[in-house]
Amino acid sequence: MPTVLVTGAARGLGLELVRQYAADGWTVLACARAPAQAAALEALAAGAAGRVEVHALDLDDHATVDALAARLAGRAIDVLLNAAGVMGHGSFAAEGLAFGRFGRSDFDDWMQVLRVNTIGPMKMAEAFVGHVAASRQKKIVALSSVVGSIGGNRAGSLYAYRASKAALNAIMRSMALDLGKSHDIVAAPIHPGWVRTDMGGPRADIDVATSVAGMRRVIDGLDAARAGRFWAYDGSELPW
């Protein structure tokens, strides 16, 4: 069976990705910053008959990324799935578009958002490109957001988060071009929808199971012709 590596696996979309892939018989390398504090993930792994391996990894600490890549040397990873992400201090779920509005910028917070959402997936790709290239499926996927669409921005605000996801989209586009040529790797960003998580809030459109099932269908259908394009969980294509 194939292998998927999931970052941000402790909760929300990451945890549901682990659950669904494991239920389908995949080997899942589930990565979390503090596995000992991720009770739901540990319980899921305990009941997965060895299909879920839990690993410590912090996208803001590149030494942990390099250490895990070395620990997994020789392991083929069919899908490298960067699900970890942050919005920064405050709460979009509670404040809506008032969160991250113009005039309220905390630039130290900006740097944290960019390190995790933008630089983190790039570091993961560079560290694990050999693992992915050795697999059968050869896919690198990053969870982006519709708010990273410049052409689709009709509401403003959310400056740091929008910037981090727009930059991530640019990275994934270049990665699709470069790694497609050098390693036959398919790379693409995916918008998971507005999901009822701690980040999205209780008024969001869909639940995590619906989002993840849709994203998995999109990932399954990724090929060279669909690489480097911006997809939504429902299979629709989004503007850059």
Q: Is residue 97 part of a domain?
A: yes
What CATH number corresponds to the domain at position 224? 3.40.50.720
Q: Domain for residue 237, yes or no? A: no
Question: How many domains, the chain?
Answer: 1
> Which range marks the domain in which residue 53 is found?
3-232
Q: Residue 102 has what pLDDT? A: 87
Token pair listed for 150: 């410049």
Residue 240 lies in a domain: no
Q: Does some domain include residue 92?
A: yes
Has residue 239 been placed in a domain?
no
For 79-105, the pLDDT digits (tens) are 999 999 997 776 666 666 667 778 888
Strand partners, 29: 5, 53
Q: Is residue 162 part of a domain?
A: yes
Query: How many CB atoms are closer than 10 A to CB 198?
Result: 12
For residues 57-82, average pLDDT? 98
User: 3-class DSSP state for residue 5?
Assistant: strand
Check residues 193 and 200 and name the one with the higher pLDDT.
193
Reported as a single tens digit per residue, the pLDDT across 169-183 is: 999 999 999 999 999
